[in-house]
Amino acid sequence: MSAWSLSTMQFRVLWQHMMGDDLPLNFTYGTGEITTVDQAEGMELRARDELLASLSADQEAMFAALFRSTYTIEVLGFDVRDLDDPRGRIRIFSGGHPAGFATIAIQRPGPTPEVGGRIQIAQVPWSRWTTQIVRMLPPSPGPGRLPAIEGLDNNGDDQHAGADRPTFLVHEIPDPAHDAARSFYLSPTRHTTGSIVVRAGSLRDAIPAQEISLEYRDEPDDGRYVYTHFGRMSAEPVGPEQLAALILRCLRTVKQRRDDLMEAYTA
């Protein structure tokens, strides 16, 4: 996996030079320096000129792939035990295309949560994209011990459907284990957590962007869980391979939704 890195300022001025002001929202761009407007503009111009003078064709192509990709995966993670510790932040912006590579940018922690560290950029084959995203999360504690629950947004009613029958709701007989799992899933996390947003298209497209989000949570002495939103909010325990597979499922789902919209728009 080839990689290079930029300072927060270098990333910002290069993105604005090539793309405009539509910066990735999950990165932080504070520098921690107190400057006047004139000083800040002078620093940015020098950083841009120096960077453009040294930028290779391969680096420019890798960077351009970030904002020209039809499909993106963004991650924003926290360690809720100490929100003032920047080491608990996970900030990833990535873009890819099924016919080629995925480009992944991860912002390393800075001295404070508001001041970002260096941004490392690398490319991986499309087939390894979701696996690499999972590797960049906090180390997995393994799958959680509680069972999966579908329909957390159904207030105790679970949804069932036969193979050739319409979906219907039934009220389940109270189950203490089921109720305890539901209560846990709906409670605040006490450790590391974050959102993974998978998107097809962008706000710049004529066709509305399609996205699905996942939320992961890690619990001490238990394991990792993920919340999914494939129609209904559900939760399940996951290991690294299962989480990578769920992110890939999100990619396939938003791709299909966007393809369907494109067909409708051109019909």
Distance CA 151, CA 81 (A): 28
In a domain, residue 40? The reply is yes
In a domain, residue 176? The reply is no
DSSP 8-state code for residue 152: G
Phi, psi dihedrals of residue 44, rounded to the nearest 5°: -65, -40
In a domain, residue 166? The reply is no
- Give the count of domains, the chain: 1
pLDDT, tens only, 202-226: 767 778 889 999 999 999 889 999 9
In a domain, residue 240? The reply is yes
Quick check: helix, strand or coil at residue 252?
Answer: helix
Average pLDDT over residues 182-200: 90
Identify the domain containing residue 82 by its residue range: 3-146+185-266
- Residue 165 confidence (pLDDT): 39
pLDDT, tens only, 29-46: 887 776 777 787 888 888
In a domain, residue 158? The reply is no
- Residue 242 confidence (pLDDT): 96
| Helices 37-54 + 8-18 axis angle, to 10 | 80
pLDDT, tens only, 60-72: 988 988 888 899 9
- Residue 102 confidence (pLDDT): 95
- Residue 173 confidence (pLDDT): 54
- Residue 157 confidence (pLDDT): 47
Q: In this prediction, what percent of the chain has a pLDDT beyond 70?
A: 88
Average pLDDT, the chain: 85
- Residue 137 confidence (pLDDT): 96
In a domain, residue 35? The reply is yes
Query: Do 48 and 37 contact (CB within 8 A), yes or no?
Result: no
pTM above threshold 0.95: no
